[in-house]
Amino acid sequence: MQQQHSTNDFTRTIYVLPSAAGIHLDYTLGEEIALFAPLPTDALVCGVGYNSISRRKAIGLTYHANTCRAYRRWIDMHRRCYESDAPAYSGCTVCRKWHDFQEFADWFTAQPYANEPDAELDKDILDPLNRIYSPEFCSLVPRLINQMFRDTRSQRGRLPIGVKEGPRRKGFTARLSRYGRQVHLGTFGDVFSAFEAYKKAFSAYCSEVADKYEGMVDSRVIDRLRSCYRHIHD
């Protein structure tokens, strides 16, 4: 690497080889990329994923075998983005850094909930509009928490979340799923009252779950639970 500075130090030119000692450098929009770029001989997963394990081994870096738990999650993540026809994954991508399995596994094994049997990889609890699997937006969470943030609009029809028509179409009932079981919150004369009952119960449930899992999952998820609320158009 060579640096040139002007006399007033207002300008700086840096010349860098595109790849040196296996380290691939890129300055496009500040996106963080993997330590190792894919080789022409790498077998790609979904056209983008690869595994730099041999290069890590060669220079004595920590590496992860493809028999670890992270590998299945890495494969599934790529298939969701690049092979799935499910509407929930339309337009989703994997960040360039995580194209390398080793980079994803480094992140995965460092997560506080990584070794739990019900751990699930989530991309949009922290940002409901996010479509990119990346360290900035992803978290490992219990299945219970992941299901709390599922988008069920396509399944429930025209009524707000947590609201159904009452028996014999009289009034409206509010219901909340708590720890996998449906809890009846009451029957109300109008949609808005039913939704308000659901909204209040959901916020209380979120706080309860946050208390239960505090210190066990990403602190950002706990913050999201504590500040979470439902809108009637959710």
The answer to whether residue 121 is domain-embedded is yes
Q: Does 132 lie in the same domain as 152?
A: no
For residues 99 and 38, what is the distance between their CA atoms, to the nearest angstrom? Answer: 9
At residue 156 the predicted structure's pLDDT band, cuts being 50, 70 and 90, is low
pLDDT digits (tens, 9 = 90+) for 69-117: 999 999 999 999 999 999 889 999 999 999 999 999 999 999 999 999 9
Confidence of residue 28 (pLDDT cuts 50, 70, 90): very low
Min mean pLDDT across 69-83, 151-165, 216-230 is at: 151-165
CA distance 190 to 9: 69
Mean pLDDT computed over every residue of the chain: 87
Tell me, yes or no, if the pTM score tops 0.85: no
pLDDT at 14 over 80: no
Residues 166 and 137 in one domain: no
**Pair 120, 207 in one domain:** no
135 lies in a domain?
Answer: yes
Q: Is residue 34 part of a domain?
A: no
In a domain, 177, yes or no: yes
Domain shared by 168 and 74, yes or no: no
Q: For the chain, what is the HEC assignment?
A: CEEEECCCCCCEEEECCCEECCEECCCCCCCCCCCCCCCCCCCCECCCEECCHHHHHHCCCCCCCCCCHHHHHHHHHHHHHHCCCCHHHCCCEECHHHHEHHHHHHHHHHCCCCCCCCEEEECCCCCCCCCEECCCCCEEEEHHHHHHCCCCHHHHCCCCCCEEECHHHCCEEEEEEECCEEEEEEEECCHHHHHHHHHHHHHHHHHHHHHHHCCCCCHHHHHHHHHCCCCCCC
Residue 158 shares a structural domain with residue 122? no
44 occurs within a structural domain: yes
**Are 187 and 115 within one domain?**
no
Q: Are residues 128 and 155 in the same domain?
A: no
Give pLDDT, residue 195: 94
- In this structure, the answer to whether residues 107 and 171 fall within a common structural domain is no
Same domain, residue pair 110 and 166: no
154 or 173: whose pLDDT is higher?
173
Beta strand 19-20 pairing with 23-24: antiparallel
Query: 129 and 156 share a domain?
Result: no
CB 172 within 8 A of CB 163: yes
Residues 49, 113 share a domain: yes
User: Domain ends where: 142, 157, 188?
Assistant: 142
**Structural domain ending residue among the three candidates 114, 142, 170:** 142
Which amino acid does the sequence have at 205? Y
pLDDT of 18 reads 44
The domain of 126 spans: 40-142
Q: Which two tokens stand for residue 64?
A: 């992860």
Please indicate, yes or no, if residue 190 is contained in any of the structural domains.
yes
> Is 135 found in the same domain as 74?
yes
Q: Where among 123, 142, 161 does a domain terminate?
A: 142
pLDDT at 143 exceeding the cut of 60: yes
Count of structural domains within the chain: 2
Check residue 2 and give its pLDDT.
Answer: 44
Residue 32 placed within a domain = no
Q: Does residue 124 carry a pLDDT above 80?
A: yes
